[in-house]
Structure formats: structure tokens, C-alpha cells
Structure 1
């Protein structure tokens, strides 16, 4: 099944977005080993966990968050280790497996028996790992549904940007520490739809979250997830193909790294693939066009 939502021009349904400072003020921290993890939650009802992407943070959902019916959902999100307001240890073996451990322990610690998952980019790989664990009988909670947003679910059609390739090269440490605001702005804006580029103020916020607590110094460590995707490709794709719960891919078609080709591959490999294409929307659909994403998500949830 595929739906295509029309392009209305500009951002649709943006609403009021909290600043990173306001987002932080209404959050809480919990411990993961020796490290502090920033989290945010609100509402009552069924648990909905929002999982962010690379190299940003949970604040990506700040424009989508107010649209959710928080009488229907208990909405939860966190900044994964190495991202946003969470700790960013320098000498740490960052991995998708570890971030999945983090989410698994967090969900179990709150004694949640069932969760809906909505994931973007890097977070999609975390959710694929959680799906694999569920199918192996390793989770103590049920994954009720999964919604993906522009993630590299199939590494063979992922098109990383040059900056990502440089960060994953032997020069990655130097590239990471030497990343300038100008280089960041130029590369980050390329991920968005043509008329949906973030404003100067929004770029300030994304940069603030990236560089918070020496975030530039570990980018080359975080980007190893691209190699993990290749190593775990068969297991993680099998998790999609064998999933028992409802799944939907909401895909911004103007995404240069995980857009049209990724959605086509999803239709090829996932049984009864449910795909919603957002025309003119780039890699960050939940930020670029939160109302369109919300409509697609709400319609999906009504069928779950």
C-alpha cells in the first residue's frame, strides 16, 4: 500500500516550537551506567517512544510533539548517549547495540508492557535491533507498532553525504574536531526540501545541540553506525520482513540520502509494505512538515 501526500509549499502545520532551552527545562535525567541521559515525557495512555537521528537529538520532535494527543498517548523520548543534552563521553564504544540496550533498559525500568515506536534516521536502526530482539524472545515488553521516518533501513541504497564519509575515514577525528559552523550549515541544509531549509535561528539551535558538551569531538565515533548497518544488514532486514506488528514508512521524497530509493527498496523487500510519500519534504519530515507526518501517523494508528 502506498499513499502520496501533496506538496503544499513551505512548512505545513509548524505550530509553536520550544527552544532547546525550554525543551531542556521540562525534561529529566536518568542514569545509564555512569552517564546521565536526558529524557522528556508527557501525557497519559498508550506509550509512544520517539527515537531521534544522527547527529541531532530529541529536540527534532519539538514541532511534532504538540500535535500528539497526549490524552491518548504517554509520549516519551530521550537524547541517546552522545547526543543532545545527554553525556558525551570521549572514550566510549558507541554502537547501535548499546543504544538499543539503553532504550530496552529505560522501557523496562518504567515497567511498560507495550510501546509504539516512531523512529528517524539513526533511530530506525535502533528500532530494527529492538525488533530483532523481540523476535528472538529477548524483550520483556511488546512492540505494538512501528513507524519509520527516512532511515537507512537498507544500507545498499543509503547515500551518505561527503561529510559522513569523511567522518568515518581515518581522518575522522580531525574532521570531527575541526567541524566549523559554516560547513555544518551548508551540509545540514542539503538534507531539507528545497523550500524547507531551516532559518538562521533554527540552525543556531541544531548547532547548539550538536556542540553541547564537546559534541563535535565524538562525531567520528558516533558515525560508526554506518558500518554497523552493513554488518548487521541481514539480521535487521529480516527483522522487518518477519515483523508481526503493524509498520509504516513515512518518507520525505526530497531526501538525498534515504529518500526515494529507500522507499522503493522497502516496497520490494517488506511484505505488504505500507509507505506514505511526502512530496517536497526532505530528510527531517517531522521537523519540516509535522502536520503531514502527524496525519499519516494518526491514520496509521487508527488501524493498529
Structure 2
């Protein structure tokens, strides 16, 4: 259906965190894994999807998956007051105004790689080939034309903050955060202070100070070791 999004007008679909959570549940049912306890690992957009899955699990909604643990990484689990100024994509995309479809159609590899590079650490930048792979993935089925629709998750985080932050605060599921402290989107120390204040029972792994928004890509060994230590702790 993405091919029908010409110019962003008459778009037949709107993306939402609720839908993404339902897709995860549907996939696990299809794979026959919904009967088993799942260890969730999430990042950025996926953090909020995981929060919705956790809310459903805690409220015993029909079809919800069984969650054994949740490991979050860099992402806005709770909106920071000033974090939006760090977003690499224009504010107008998030606002979904009339200019958003024009900007998405003008997006090219140069602006994409420049914006993405801003949220990687200076010593952990993707290679040119990796940038092209990411760009090819974004362009598949005209995916770049729905960036503004996908970015509505930022507004959804604010609207449903009580539901999604509340799920984290109320759960007895083991929680962990793996954090790259150089992240301009979730800046240190404000992000970490808020996380510890809201979720004092959660454990935290802070990676080296040159690791930024994509710790799983920038320091895969450190990320894996931190995750395995968390899994082995319960």
C-alpha cells in the first residue's frame, strides 16, 4: 500500500504503536511462540512498542504474549521536555503538516546519511556501504514517503504517557536499560536521571562514553555482554 502514498495525499494508512504491538503478537502466534515466555529486547521506536506489549501482558488482554523480561536501549520511554530539539529529522515531519509530504519526497541519500550520522558517535560512524544499505531499506516500497506518518509515534508517546510509563512502573517483570551516553536524542545525564527516578528498581548498563544512540551497532560486544549479564541475573 506504500506505493499509493504519492505526495503524501490520500494516504490510506496511519501507523501507530498499537498496531505495531499487534503485529508482534500476531507474528509470535504465527510462529507458535505465544505460549512461551519471551525475553524482549527493544530499541528507540521499539521501546514504546515493548511498553504497549507490557501493558497488555500486565492487564491479561486476550492474545497478549507472556513476557519474562524486558531490556530497553536508547529511546524515549518517557518524553523529555527538551529532547525534541535533538531530533535529526525536521520538526515539521513529526507535526504532520502540509509540508511533510514535500519534505519526504525531497529526502535523498545525502540528507539521510547526514541526519543519521548525527546520532552515531564520532568514532563509531557507519561505513559508506552501511549507509547505502540503510538507505536502500528505507527506500524499499517507497518507505521514505511514510516517514512523517511513522514519526507520529512521538506524539503518541505524549498522549499515552500514563499508559506506557505506567506499565513500566507497575510491572514485576525484570527490567534493564543498556545506554549509550553520548546520545543527543536521549542526552546524558538528563535521560539517565529520569530513568532512574521513574524506574528505581530497574538495572542499568552504561556503555563507554563515546557510544551514542545505536549501542547495539556501535558496540555490539559491549551490548551483548551487558544483555547476557542481565539475563543471567534472574
TM-score range, shorter chain: 0.7 to 0.9
Deviation, 1:165, is 1.3
Match of 2:103 in 1: 175
Deviation, 1:164, is 4.3
Instruction: Indicate which of 142, 147, 171 corresponds to 2:66.
Output: 142
Structure 2 residue runs of 5 or longer lacking an equivalent are 4-10
Indicate conservation of the 8 Å contact 1:179/1:216, yes or no.
yes
Match of 2:226 in 1: 296
How many residue pairs are counted as aligned between the two chains? 218
Match of 2:76 in 1: 152
Instruction: Indicate which of 205, 217, 229 corresponds to 1:287.
Output: 217
Match of 2:6 in 1: none
Please state if 1:199 is matched with 2:127. yes
Deviation, 1:97, is 0.5
TM-score scaled to structure 2, two decimals? 0.88
Indicate conservation of the 8 Å contact 1:276/1:296, yes or no.
yes
For 2:64 and 2:49, how far apart are their aligned partners in 1?
17
Give the RMSD, CA atoms, in angstroms: 1.8
TM-score scaled to structure 1, two decimals? 0.68
Structure 1 residue runs of 5 or longer lacking an equivalent are 1-34, 36-80, 83-89
Q: Match of 2:80, SS?
A: helix
Match of 1:44 in 2: none
Q: Match of 1:105, SS?
A: helix
Indicate conservation of the 8 Å contact 2:56/2:64, yes or no.
no
Q: Which structure dedicates a bigger proportion of its chain to helix? A: 2
Runs of 4+ in 1 over 3 A off after TM superposition: 157-160
For 1:202 and 1:105, how far apart are their aligned partners in 2?
30
Indicate conservation of the 8 Å contact 2:174/2:202, yes or no.
no
Q: Which structure dedicates a bigger proportion of its chain to strand? A: 1
